[in-house]
Amino acid sequence: MKGAKFPVMTCGSGAEATTSGGNVTILGVNEIHESGDIVFEAQQHWRLTGARNLSWVSAVGLPLASSVADYYASRASTRPGQGSQLHMDNVCGPDEHNAAVNDSGYIIASAITTINFAIELAEIHARHGSVDEQEAPAHNISGWKDTVARLAPSLPYDPARSFHPEFEGMPLNGFQAKQADTLMLQYPLMLNHSTMTGASRRNDLGYYSKHSLISPDMTQAICAQHCHSSPPMHPLLHTNVVREL
């Protein structure tokens, strides 16, 4: 793989510490969303500080985003007989109860968000970097754009139900997530994708609010974010309010 992948857990060395018996576990291998999560935090910093600190772009933002973008681009792969469409196979999103799935919606959304941010910063750097910086090796912006275009169609979506399954082939009956990471496509990622419609957002919220464990509170928090203005109080929001009281 190219680029940079952050560990799921580490003990200060930077090495993967998600181990058992001295060996890296399946979560340590497949749970690749942490890298995108870190880039997303950097993106939020860039936005909230006014998106104008060009020295931060050169020293922090672009090296970080580009390295993770390169990792995701190299991690995505085609499938025999399916043309040039890219997939994220054998991965694990924040829902660790499903540790080896294909085309996790959250992983794909995180990869797209990361690569698009790398493109944004690389284009800013090309316009405003110093002469010495502009002489540095160019980033593969066209390659990143190609990756996004070929990966986006693999985001799991059920058009008949206007609904986003958590991963390819997810069973609807009897499914239960540890935490409904698919809901994070709409918040906080706010993914820009053709399938992210008003209907699909509502259907995602309705389904996963009934098919997720109560703890941890990822599902409830996102439902509360979207349901606070729609009385009566959403049951998951009520659960959190009562718990706090």
Mean pLDDT to the nearest integer, 109-136: 83
CATH class of the domain at 1-155: mainly alpha
At 23-67, the pLDDT tens digits run 888 888 889 999 999 999 999 999 999 988 999 999 999 999 999
pLDDT at 130: 52
At 90-113, the pLDDT tens digits run 999 999 999 999 999 999 999 999
Mean pLDDT over the full length of the chain: 87
Please check whether residue 211 is in contact with residue 176, taking contact to mean a CB–CB distance below 8 angstroms: yes
| C-alpha pair distances (Å), 179 with each of 97, 98, 143, 193, 218 | 9, 10, 33, 22, 6
Any idea where the domains of the chain sit in the sequence?
1-155, 156-245
Answer left, alpha or beta for residue 213, where phi above 0 means left and psi between -120 and 50 means alpha: beta
- Tell me: pLDDT of 131 over 50: no
* Cα angle for residues 49, 55, 61 (degrees, 5° grid): 70
Q: Taking the mean position of all CA atoms in its chain, how far away is CA 83?
A: 24
- d(CA 207, CA 213) in angstroms, rounded, equals 13
As a whole-number percent, the residues of the chain with pLDDT over 70 amount to 86
Please check whether residue 47 is in contact with residue 38, taking contact to mean a CB–CB distance below 8 angstroms: no
Sequence-ordered alpha helix ranges (H) in the chain: 26-30, 33-48, 54-56, 62-75, 105-128, 131-134, 141-151, 198-208, 218-227, 235-244
Q: Which residues contact 138 (CB under 8 A, 6 or more apart)?
A: 126
Task: Annotate 18-30 with DSSP letters as a single string.
Answer: -EETTEE-HHHHH
- d(CA 73, CA 146) in angstroms, rounded, equals 9
Mean pLDDT to the nearest integer, 204-215: 83
